[in-house]
Structure 1
């Protein structure tokens, strides 16, 4: 599961008044490290539908692919004939699980694929704890808050909580955060899995050079810049990518010390203070540090419960 900086000048936080965001949206990404197993004895799977399992191979390959895929390559990776794969993809397109680029003909996951896991992820950790904390943070600051995880190919918003005012930005669940242009993306660059991040940076830089070479904000962060982010524990940026808006983002870590997700605060530049000593950054860091503690605690409790239920476990 795996940041952008648009930051502004300092303003006072609204006293102790808590204001519920006008709207909150959630979308959940499919697990990246294999399916999770339920607790208890496994039941016989029973009879299945082979065509669904065959089609599932195509979806699995799209999840694993590093970007859009040609039909012939997708079919070969799923061990299907191109004509057979095309029939499955046509149906998946109709229900929104798959998209096809009109110009290149290449396939990628569609919006319905991103929404599939919503019901499950709402009630599981770490998303449940992150959601509660993000609501509190948005209420306290009165600003937009986004939970960002690493999706199939890039940092992806899984939950958006709007602040007191609507912002002039099309940021919805499922939106991709640029690794080269946003503070949330920089968090993944600084703390995330290098192989995945480097692949994404290559895609973004290639796309930008071919489409809008003047967008100077889109560039690879230097190691010195990344080290600064690691040292201070957050990343921020003013007036980017939308003029008048700024943002700041910070990491939340798993029990093993790896990056779990990032939380980003977005607001008008006149409302958001991105300085380290500012109230907004202090509130964000307090939230992410608490969530990192919760993730570690939940993981340890889960391991203890598993050990206690093991047949080899002996009570003292």
Structure 2
């Protein structure tokens, strides 16, 4: 792409090259970061350096800079490296620009007001299954879920949605439980993620039938029925079906 001058460029300045060479040190640091991002788990310095084909001391310097900027986190106890909080912030910023987020947020807000429970939108980011929008009811009982919160694949309804419908499914859940969740069209938990709190999560699919995100209702057990056939579950499934339909997916194509 040609470089266009702006108002701050000096008139008659030497034109910039059409294919700039770039900054090698930056590219090396980003290559190391990309390696860490694809690990899917915390990783040690020696292993990262080996995979990058980089001297251990050199990799350490790059990682130190990434840690200082928040892109990488190093565990104080194990010394292992993993993605840092800046990755989550970047993922949330990117996701917020996508049209389907606005569509899902509108449905989540409608559910929150209709049922009087907290409703959230979650998506898979490099940091994990993440709450990208949280809608609280004007009336009813709200549950404090922070935007950016991460969900466990085993104990949370949101995580179970991703463990069940991801491609391939996660072995974090037993196959029998995944089959049960699929047959219901949603995942439920009753006090497993937080005592006294129920949650129901359902999937949203893209035009190819791939899991795109989840909508989850969260509320006190006294205010949110966790029955897969109850009114909240039916309303949640219907909302997710509307979003999936808007994305070009219809259940009849399964």
TM-score, scaled relative to structure 2:
0.82
Tell me if 1:221 matches 2:195.
Answer: no
Q: What is the aligned partner in structure 1 of residue 52 from structure 2?
A: 78
Task: Say which of 107, 111, 114 aligns to 2:88.
Answer: 114
Alignment CA distance shift 1:116-1:266 (3 Å): same
Q: Measure, in 1, the Cα distance between the counterparts of 2:93 and 2:158.
A: 25
Q: Measure, in 1, the Cα distance between the counterparts of 2:185 and 2:163.
A: 13
Q: What is the aligned partner in structure 1 of residue 182 from structure 2?
A: 230
Tell me if 1:103 matches 2:55.
Answer: no
Q: What is the aligned partner in structure 2 of residue 284 from structure 1?
A: 236
Q: What is the aligned partner in structure 2 of residue 49 from structure 1?
A: 23
Alignment CA distance shift 1:155-1:122 (3 Å): closer
Q: Measure, in 2, the Cα distance between the counterparts of 1:105 and 1:45.
A: 39
2:45–2:60 CA contact under 8 A, matched in 1? yes
* Stretch of structure 1 that moved more, 47-56 or 93-102: 47-56
Alignment CA distance shift 1:87-1:155 (3 Å): same
2:91–2:126 CA contact under 8 A, matched in 1? no
1:231-288: CA deviation from partner (whole Å, max 9, x where unpaired)? 2211112122211111000011111112111111111111101223432212211110
1:75-101: CA deviation from partner (whole Å, max 9, x where unpaired)? 222232221111121121122111101
* SS in structure 1 at match of 2:248: helix
Q: Measure, in 2, the Cα distance between the counterparts of 1:266 and 1:45.
A: 51
Q: What is the aligned partner in structure 2 of residue 308 from structure 1?
A: none
Q: What is the aligned partner in structure 2 of residue 216 from structure 1?
A: none
1:138-171: CA deviation from partner (whole Å, max 9, x where unpaired)? 233232222222233742322223345453x6x4
Query: Structure 2: which 5+ residue stretches go unaligned?
Result: 3-17, 250-254
Q: What is the aligned partner in structure 2 of residue 192 from structure 1?
A: 166
Q: Measure, in 1, the Cα distance between the counterparts of 2:148 and 2:135.
A: 13
Q: Measure, in 2, the Cα distance between the counterparts of 1:163 and 1:285.
A: 19
**Structure number with higher relative contact order (C-alpha < 8 Å, ≥ 6 residues apart):** 1
Aligned Cα RMSD in Å?
2.2
